[in-house]
């Protein structure tokens, strides 16, 4: 602070000694032009709440996992810092009070609300009220909150007309939520309930879905995610075929037959994908790899097949295919049906390979490379 003469614009505080606990207040008081504040640890939620509003021009605040804050405190902080454009809370705790979000936060663009170790229901977030008071959010992450079992008060993300990036981990709603057409990136995980997909509101929201602007779609840990729902999501991503990154991981419905159907039906347009992640799907074999090669993966740069049943034979078909000549990286961790010789062969084609041996390594088809 002395060297900058109070002109610090960005500050990151970590491992602050007890005797220096007033440094945060000193920083926010003296540095009038402070724009970005990141706190790794060393401060209580109350001290942050006291100091942050003193930085009148503060536009961004990030609190790490070690900087615990109450949900009520986060609410107050957002009220007292009206210029905030970015706010990330990575360890929120709740006293069981449902948030009111009483003031307008029209400058807020990026918001991350992550629950701490004590998981509580997302009902306390009162997301619909938040959306009404912060309608200009473009990037939203809701992480670690338990599912709200009240379908009639499910958060309506369609109220955020400028939302481009949405992360739901796990999905905190009892039904598939309404989504805005402005989305370019959607990440969803933890779809555990059969009721989630069979509920009438899910069907209504899926039928009105418009995701023509989506360039990135990630679905993870969808134990009961039906293939038809995935088909619907992919079909609504078609538009101008903007989808470039696709991840469908640890989903029980994913197998060779489903992938082949998606390719044949045209809901999965592999030729435009730059990154594809099918990891942790134990039913994926060489059949899928060969189908991808046949349909063309001309733009594909990264492919993750970790913990699937692919073998060296299938991978050789892919990396030698003329329509896969842009492939730069293969991730094959835990692929017990292939050996190190296959990984070494792939490297000779100029492709980076990530392949770690599991303890119980088994070898698949033995073929001659070269």
pTM of the full structure = 0.89
Q: Nearest CA to 309 among 289, 330, 295, 329?
A: 289
For 138, the token pair is 């473009």
Which pLDDT belongs to residue 20?
58
**How many angstroms separate the first and last alpha carbons of the chain?**
62
For 320, how many CA atoms within 13 A lie in the half-sphere containing its CB? 11
pLDDT of residue 176: 87
Collapsing DSSP to helix, strand or coil, 238 comes out as coil
For 63, 66, 80, 81, 364, the CA distances from 41, given in Å and listed in that order, are 8, 5, 22, 21, 48
The full set of domains in the chain, from first to last, is: 1-146 (3.80.10.10), 275-370 (3.80.10.10)
Cα 14 to Cα 55, 66, 74: the distances in Å are 19, 10, 20
Cβ atoms of 141 and 113 within 8 Å: the answer is yes
**Please, what are the averages of pLDDT over each run of 10 residues along the chain (370 residues)?**
69 73 85 92 87 93 93 94 96 89 95 87 91 97 83 83 96 87 93 72 86 92 82 78 91 92 89 94 96 90 97 94 90 94 94 80 51
Tokens standing for 85?
């454009």
CA distance 24 to 113: 23
pLDDT of residue 345: 95
């Amino acid at each position: 602070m002395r060297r900058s003469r109070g002109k610090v614009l960005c500050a990151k505080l970590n491992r602050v000694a007890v005797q220096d606990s007033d440094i945060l207040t000193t920083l926010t008081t003296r540095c009038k032009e402070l724009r970005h504040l990141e706190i790794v640890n060393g401060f209580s939620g109350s001290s942050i709440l006291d100091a942050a509003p003193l930085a009148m021009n503060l536009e961004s605040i990030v609190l790490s996992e070690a900087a615990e804050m109450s949900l009520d405190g986060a609410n107050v902080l957002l009220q007292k810092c009206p210029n905030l454009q970015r706010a990330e809370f990575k360890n929120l705790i709740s006293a069981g009070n449902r948030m009111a979000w009483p003031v307008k936060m029209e400058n807020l663009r990026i918001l991350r609300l992550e629950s701490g170790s004590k998981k509580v229901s997302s009902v306390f977030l009162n997301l619909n009220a938040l959306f009404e008071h912060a309608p200009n959010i473009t990037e939203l992450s809701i992480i670690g909150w338990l599912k709200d079992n009240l379908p009639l008060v499910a958060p309506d993300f369609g109220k955020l007309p400028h939302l481009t990036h949405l992360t739901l981990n796990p999905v905190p709603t009892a039904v598939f939520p309404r989504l805005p057409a402005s989305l370019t990136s959607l990440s969803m995980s933890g779809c555990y309930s059969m009721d989630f997909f069979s509920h009438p509101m899910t069907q209504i929201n899926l039928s009105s879905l418009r995701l023509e602007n989506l360039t990135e779609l990630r679905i993870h840990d969808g134990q009961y995610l039906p293939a038809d729902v995935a088909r619907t999501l992919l079909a609504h991503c078609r538009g101008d075929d903007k989808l470039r990154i696709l991840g469908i991981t640890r989903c029980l419905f994913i197998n060779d037959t489903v992938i082949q159907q998606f390719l044949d039906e045209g809901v999965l347009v592999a030729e435009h994908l730059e990154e594809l992640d099918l990891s942790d799907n134990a039913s994926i074999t060489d059949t899928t790899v060969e189908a991808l090669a046949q349909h063309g993966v001309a733009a594909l740069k990264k492919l993750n097949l970790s913990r699937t049943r692919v073998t060296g034979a299938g991978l050789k078909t892919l990396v030698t295919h003329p329509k896969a000549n842009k492939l730069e990286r293969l991730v094959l961790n835990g692929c017990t049906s292939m050996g190190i010789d296959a990984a070494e062969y792939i490297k000779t084609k100029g492709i980076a390979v990530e392949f770690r041996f599991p303890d119980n390594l088994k070898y698949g088809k033995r073929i001659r490379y070269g």
